[in-house]
Amino acid sequence: MIIKKSLILLILPLVLAANESNAIKDLSLDRALALMKKENLELKISRFDEQMKAYDHAAAQGHQYGKLDLVLKAARSNDAGNVFGFKLKSREANFGDFGFSDFMGAIGAGAQQANGDFGAFSQGLAQNGDSILALQPDDLNYPDARNHFQTTLSYMVPLYTGGKLSQYDKITSALHKMSKLDTSKLLNEKIFQVSKTFYDISLVNEYTINLNRIIDNISQLEEIVTSMKEEGFAKEIDQLEVQARKAEAQSMLDQAKFNKELAYQYLSFLLNTDVESIQYIDVMVPLPKVEKEEVQRSNIDIQKAQLGLSITDMAIALQEANFLPEVGAMAEYGSADDKAFNDFLAKDSYTIGIQAKWNIFNGMIDKNNLERAKVENMKVREQVNLAKRGICLKVKKTLTNIKSKDADIESLQTQLQFARKVYETYQAQYKEGISSISDVLIKQSKELEVLLKLLTAKNDRNTKIFELKSIINKGETL
């Protein structure tokens, strides 16, 4: 046991190191998107749904070609009806199977008693006819057990179904297309998530760079306060206040690192692959071109609504088919004997037939189902209109939000530059004894506050742009 634990302790660091070495480094956004399309688990599941819908469509098409069955039967029975039926199917039935041996025996006995006198024979037959007919022949009622081997090839095909099969074909094809649209929508969502995570990590990196610069400034301020304290121009409380601010900034930096680590973990989950580092990108996502007609044409929700409307049109045609007749044909060929495949062609048989069925009345069920399908169609038609108007409204609202964020970013960038100048001015005034350390730190806090607002505004803007790209189905246009 001790040896086993020692081996585990030796091997575990090697396994962890191997996992770390397998993590992707310096990952680009384009490569990440390609990897996500191939490895993302949710996309794989969605593509399995697509395949199942494709098989549903193929199965619906198969009903048009009918059904061909090869049936092999093997049986043994001494049941009178079965044995007689077996012989008939084998084309071997004879008069003896009907019990004619007992009948002929009774006739022969009567002829022997008449001793050649036909009149006496006829009179005896008339007198004993009922008793002769009442005979229960053993050959018919108690036959010997018999084997039965039957081979049958049967084919049934629908000739006319009022359009039901063609509508099933169209509906399952449309459902397959719907599953593809579901996958496309999911793909857009994953592109949104991967792209935003890249921008989030880049934004955190920019935040970290600025935060490190602020910490460096605080460190410089700490050196100034320490120097001035040694010369008697600063108090110990000034030094403690600067150290407290530095500790606060360092805590914010540590939190940023934790957020960055969480973002990498989420990115690794999306790609189903460990990611160690990425290629940083510009934190400002370009705004895509938006046209109303293009949005209504390419938006996946609108496409799904329109496809749903087509399916309800097919559903109406399917219900209308219930008012039409159905015609089918069948053909059967086979052979039977008491031995398997014995004298197959000599004892073969065939059956062909056709059937027409037309429902005349079923309690108005078909009529009510048809009316329901028409109402469903009208409902979906309004849902399509609602989807078009709703998507257009959402696009306009998102564009307005983006423009608002652009204005906020421009203003905050100006405020950040001003805050940095003010901080530098107050730092210089502190050296000259004009400003207090509290005033300097207040101005430094203002700079940090504006920086956080700026990065938050950039993040909100990026989120809205990614949402817009997802709406207009341009998730891959970066």
pLDDT in tens, 10-29: 444 544 444 555 889 999 99
Burial of 130 (0-12, 13-18, 19+ CB in 10 A): exposed
What's this model's pTM, rounded to 2 decimal places? 0.80
Confidence of residue 476 (pLDDT cuts 50, 70, 90): low
- Over residues 144-160, the mean pLDDT reads 92
Q: Write out pLDDT tens, residues 192-218.
A: 999 999 999 999 999 999 899 889 988
Give the position of tokens 């891959």. 476
Residue type at 192 in one-letter notation: F
CA 144 distance to own-chain centroid: 61
What is the sign, positive or negative, of the torsion defined by CA atoms of 114, 120, 122, 127? negative
Q: Report helix, strand or coil for 395.
A: helix
What is the rounded (10 degree) CA torsion for 75, 81, 87, 93?
170
Domain architecture of the chain: domains with CATH: 2-66+162-471 (1.20.1600.10), 107-136 (no CATH)
pLDDT, position 342: 85
SS3 content of the chain, % helix, strand, coil (to 5): 70, 10, 20
Contact 188, 470 (CB under 8 A): yes
Indicate whether 413 pLDDT > 70.
yes
Q: Report helix, strand or coil for 190.
A: helix
Indicate whether 103 pLDDT > 70.
no
Contact 90, 338 (CB under 8 A): yes
Confidence of residue 4 (pLDDT cuts 50, 70, 90): very low
- Over residues 95-117, the mean pLDDT reads 59
Q: Write out pLDDT tens, residues 215-262.
A: 998 888 888 888 887 777 778 888 888 889 889 889 999 999 999 999
CA distances from 208 to 28, 114, 253, 459 (A): 20, 131, 6, 15
Eight-state DSSP code of residue 145: P
How many other C-beta atoms are found inside a 10 Å radius of the C-beta of residue 38?
A: 12
Number of H helices, E strands in the chain: 13, 4
pLDDT, position 435: 78
Indicate whether 404 pLDDT > 50.
yes
Distance CA 236, CA 106 (A): 141
Query: Which of 93-97, 180-184, 283-287, 445-449 reaches the highest mean pLDDT?
Result: 180-184
pLDDT, position 274: 96
Indicate whether 121 pLDDT > 80.
no
Indicate whether 93 pLDDT > 80.
no
- Over residues 435-447, the mean pLDDT reads 86
- Over residues 275-284, the mean pLDDT reads 88
Q: Report helix, strand or coil for 94.
A: coil
- Over residues 154-167, the mean pLDDT reads 94
- Over residues 65-78, the mean pLDDT reads 93
Confidence of residue 82 (pLDDT cuts 50, 70, 90): confident
Residues β-bridged to residue 223: none
